[in-house]
Structure 1
Amino acid sequence: MSRKRLIAIALAGAIGLAVPAANAGVAVRSVDTSSYPVLRVSVLTSDPSSQAPTLRENGVAVRVDRAENLGAEKSVVLAIDRSQSMRGAPLAHAIAAARSFVDSKPAPDRVAVASFATRPQMLTDFSTERGDAVGALGAIQVDPVQGTTLYDSIVKSSNVLANEPLEARVIIVVTDGNETRSSASLDDAIAAARQAGTAIYVVAIESPKFNPAPLHKLAEETGGVYHGTTSSATLSTQYAAIASELRRTWMLDYATTARPGDTAFLEATWNSEKSVPKPITLPASLGPGSDDAKPSHLLPAVFYKTVLGTQMMAIVSFFIVLIAASLALTTVKGARLKKRLAPHLAPDVKVKRKQERERLAAAAGLFNATESAFSGWKLWKRLDRLVERSDLPVRTVEVFYVMCGLALVGGLIATMMSPSMLITLAAFAAGGLAPVAFVWFKASRRLKAFENQLPDVLITLAAALKAGHSFKAGLQTIVDEGNPPASKEFHRVLAETRLGKPLEAALWDMSERLGSKNFDFVITAVKIQQQVGGSLAGLVDMVADTVRQRQQFIRKVKGLTAMGRAGAYTLVALPFFIAIAITIINPIYMEPLYHTQTGHMLIYAGLGMMAFGSLILKKIVSFKG
């Protein structure tokens, strides 16, 4: 067996052993801090996959805002060094290796060809057609003038890539010499690549005079990899390795909670594999950090350096602005004149007591402005009716601002506890709807109490009418001898009639306030009796008996459908119970559901189907009597 053949077999075996070693595990390769507070992390997985890795910062899961797989559709610049040092076999091998890469590229990839020597050139535009790139590669020739402008080529290619529609962008550079003639520096090349969101992969043909350090830095700080070889004959192998790495490389963007000057530890997880935590130190130049003097000595450092502290400061700032706005809006025309005349006028006892009773008087201007802005909205009217029906000692505008405050607090707490936007939105909605739910509960409870009192109230009214009293006198009897809420509502009806409002209109207003269908039935019967005549006492007795029978029938229906309602509650609550239980037992198993786009889509679909099923179950077990 020839010596060349033995060398080839040994080389193939070495590559075969190296590939599994390189593919083992998951690793955080580089972190780009140029877009702080958004960090771009390059993660290499052990195998190609459509599932993006997850990230943890200092042991806490973070929300990945954007995940790009470099093996998916991307824009690629193939930059070939055509300086004099590449004359002969090196340039021929570089072109052949680039052609192999183009031939095996995925169909959606957009490829452009560039070359550099004494000046950089873009030989083609980006195209998915392989023929364009292959033709441009075949036309590359050695530059007759000595010199290498590698950094200028990187800057030019990055600027072109910045206008590409595909978000995944890669530059693959082949060179065998040191930088000599570029007007741009290494830092300029890195900054241009970062601004364009480009990862640079360097294939270097190393020689004794070759300095790989700048190219190592160029690749590492842009999310790429440096590949060094001593022979141009292995360039095809290096291109194949880069193609494999691109399929396994993910670029992940997330918003960090670390401050400039702090050191954070990043850990990637993929397919139950975890990387070694990678320490990153954010440059203090990005902003005031731990290396700078403390911004203020008025508050402890915890208010500046912890998430909870900064969130508390945000809440305090919000309420300071709210109070300032309310004080500005409470300025009443003529207040200054009233203040100057007050010492010369007799004190108004009623006004003083009213001022003492007013709650949140400082916010009266803000409340009045809010009521004026929203009073015409249907939702505002419905909320106003609900507050009136609950008989709580609050105004609608006060409930509105309590909703806003609880929604803000719920959203902030959820943001501190979990990076998931879904959980944050759910907490925001839950906080905002909590006051409405409480008011609705009080209104329903009050309505139920009135419904239970209504038959006895009607019997009392019928007895008063039989004793010869008038209808108003019968209502006064209910007020004197009854219990709230019936006595309170009828007292309001009588007060409105004393002020000149017709009794029929006052009763209809009471019916709208309460929302009682049985009371609507009573008012309709009384109105008909007034038009056609007859015994009002007998009619009220008959209506009282009808209302009592309706209530008994509704209770019977509820008893018969109790099992169905219990089953509906169980079916709705079971998925939430199982999700919470599995999350507590095995949180890693549930992470894809909470922290991936596919998982979020499954949650949305599940909630939608549960809502639809709940409506169907409610339709089955509900009864309108």
Structure 2
Amino acid sequence: MNSPAMLAIGSTLLCGVLGVAGIHTYASGKAQRAALLDRLAITGPHETGRPRRFTGIDRRLRKTALGKRIQLKLAVTGLDLTPGEFFVYMVAGVAALWMIASSVLAPFFGPIAGLVALWAANTFLNWQRQKRIEKFINQLPDLSRILANATAAGLALRTALGMAAEELEAPAGEELALVTSQLMVGRSIDDALGELSERLPSRELVVLVTTLVLSNQAGGAVVGSLRNLTETLEERKETRREVRTMLSEVNATAYTIPMLGLGALLMMNSITPGSLERTTGSTIGQGAVILALGLYTLGFIVIRRLGKIEV
């Protein structure tokens, strides 16, 4: 057999071996990726070891834009939920409120109750996020004090952040542990702290991060700055508590007014059974109900705006 034939046979065999190896590598990588997704779906973002529900839905939902948005919101709330679990619970809540409103009030109120359930789910996530931010802000004086003491003892800022992550409780401990992990894999202090301030936005955290970043870049009396910042944060903490107490009545009023409207509907329907169904059976009645709901919503938004004061 001549040399060109041997070369062709050798090339064919080599291509076949490389093709088989490539297919095997692709299949192995795909299997590892699927196993990783399954493990993430089971353990969840907090790795509590709790058995996860709806793993199939969660795996498919994470590939969509809606799933990614839900995952980002859940990541900053501290909730031990996967996007699939939250999505299933939200859909179940929408269906339950839809059926309850349709049966208790009138079929016209079913879609409205479904929209209210969607709004309530999004509001719940925003409330949990704000609650976590408030708790983190209350821990900032302790964080600043720990960093000041560690820096005064001659420790580097990276080491001081690690100590604070071990000593502080959640959410500050969890967030600083994430910052420490990012620093260990090579991220700069500026990027890690900047991402922290984006996850939990607040004026107090921005001031602390700016102080740490500038001190890390230009040097200087970081201990004195942190001690002064600790006193300032303590004063702001007390001020925020006083303002929140003064505005608690206003915030309660914002939620009481819509509940009064719902109570009026229930009372009307209980006094005269079927009155809401007859009212919403005509175009004029539906328009009047929508107008009333719009006015209640406007009042809720206006009162919430009046009771929202940034300190």
Q: What's the offset of the Cα at 1:497?
A: 0.8
The corresponding residue for 1:411 is: 98
The answer on 1:395 being equivalent to 2:82 is: yes
In structure 2, which of residues 273, 289, 302 is the aligned counterpart of residue 616 of structure 1?
A: 302
Structure 1 portions without partners, runs of 5+: 1-332, 343-349
The answer on 1:558 being equivalent to 2:244 is: yes
Amino acid at match of 2:170: P
After TM superposition, the structure 1 = structure 2 runs for residues 139-154 of structure 1, keeping only pairs within 5 Å, are: none
The corresponding residue for 1:509 is: 195
C-alpha distance in 2 between matches for 1:466 and 1:399: 45
Distance 1:549 1:593, change over 3 A: farther
With normalisation by structure 1, the TM-score equals: 0.39
The corresponding residue for 1:426 is: 112
Length, aligned pairs only: 274
The answer on 1:603 being equivalent to 2:292 is: no
The answer on 1:385 being equivalent to 2:72 is: yes
* Residue deviations 1:497-534 (CA, integer Å, cap 9, x gap): 11111122111112222233321221122223344432
* Residue deviations 1:181-226 (CA, integer Å, cap 9, x gap): xxxxxxxxxxxxxxxxxxxxxxxxxxxxxxxxxxxxxxxxxxxxxx
Distance 1:554 1:614, change over 3 A: same
The corresponding residue for 1:449 is: 135
C-alpha distance in 2 between matches for 1:563 and 1:444: 19
The answer on 1:373 being equivalent to 2:59 is: no
Q: What's the offset of the Cα at 1:486?
A: 1.0
SS of the residue corresponding to residue 487 of structure 1 reads: helix
Amino acid at match of 1:407: V
C-alpha distance in 1 between matches for 2:264 and 2:218: 63
The corresponding residue for 1:528 is: 214
Distance 1:361 1:587, change over 3 A: closer
In structure 2, which of residues 157, 162, 175 is the aligned counterpart of residue 489 of structure 1?
A: 175
Q: What's the offset of the Cα at 1:453?
A: 1.2
After TM superposition, the structure 1 = structure 2 runs for residues 55-204 of structure 1, keeping only pairs within 5 Å, are: none
**Whose Rg is larger?**
1
Distance 1:368 1:362, change over 3 A: closer
* Residue deviations 1:269-325 (CA, integer Å, cap 9, x gap): xxxxxxxxxxxxxxxxxxxxxxxxxxxxxxxxxxxxxxxxxxxxxxxxxxxxxxxxx
With normalisation by structure 2, the TM-score equals: 0.74
C-alpha distance in 2 between matches for 1:525 and 1:458: 10
Contact kept, 8 Å, 2:280 with 2:286, in 1: the verdict is: yes
The corresponding residue for 2:233 is: 547
SS of the residue corresponding to residue 614 of structure 1 reads: helix
Amino acid at match of 1:425: P
Distance 1:373 1:362, change over 3 A: closer
Distance 1:440 1:616, change over 3 A: closer
Distance 1:361 1:603, change over 3 A: closer
Distance 1:562 1:406, change over 3 A: closer
In structure 2, which of residues 154, 157, 161 is the aligned counterpart of residue 468 of structure 1?
A: 154
C-alpha distance in 1 between matches for 2:224 and 2:159: 17
Distance 1:539 1:382, change over 3 A: farther
The corresponding residue for 1:258 is: none
C-alpha distance in 2 between matches for 1:419 and 1:565: 27
Distance 1:480 1:591, change over 3 A: closer
Contact kept, 8 Å, 1:409 with 1:431, in 2: the verdict is: no
Q: What's the offset of the Cα at 1:571?
A: 3.5
* Residue deviations 1:120-155 (CA, integer Å, cap 9, x gap): xxxxxxxxxxxxxxxxxxxxxxxxxxxxxxxxxxxx
Of Structure 1 and Structure 2, the greater strand share is in: 1
The answer on 1:583 being equivalent to 2:269 is: yes
The answer on 1:479 being equivalent to 2:165 is: yes
Distance 1:391 1:593, change over 3 A: same
C-alpha distance in 1 between matches for 2:179 and 2:252: 40
Distance 1:543 1:385, change over 3 A: farther
The corresponding residue for 1:593 is: 279
Q: What's the offset of the Cα at 1:385?
A: 2.8
Contact kept, 8 Å, 1:403 with 1:434, in 2: the verdict is: no
Contact kept, 8 Å, 2:107 with 2:277, in 1: the verdict is: no
Distance 1:516 1:384, change over 3 A: farther
C-alpha distance in 2 between matches for 1:580 and 1:432: 22
Distance 1:431 1:588, change over 3 A: closer
Distance 1:559 1:428, change over 3 A: closer
The corresponding residue for 1:268 is: none
SS of the residue corresponding to residue 108 of structure 2 reads: helix
Q: What's the offset of the Cα at 1:551?
A: 2.4
The corresponding residue for 2:4 is: none
C-alpha distance in 1 between matches for 2:80 and 2:164: 23
Amino acid at match of 1:371: R
C-alpha distance in 1 between matches for 2:251 and 2:209: 33
C-alpha distance in 1 between matches for 2:300 and 2:155: 51
Distance 1:382 1:515, change over 3 A: farther
After TM superposition, the structure 1 = structure 2 runs for residues 3-22 of structure 1, keeping only pairs within 5 Å, are: none
Structure 2 portions without partners, runs of 5+: 1-22, 44-51
Contact kept, 8 Å, 2:77 with 2:132, in 1: the verdict is: yes
Q: What's the offset of the Cα at 1:599?
A: 2.0
* Residue deviations 1:146-190 (CA, integer Å, cap 9, x gap): xxxxxxxxxxxxxxxxxxxxxxxxxxxxxxxxxxxxxxxxxxxxx
Distance 1:433 1:569, change over 3 A: closer
Distance 1:427 1:513, change over 3 A: same
C-alpha distance in 1 between matches for 2:63 and 2:40: 22
Matched-pair identity in %: 22
Distance 1:591 1:480, change over 3 A: closer
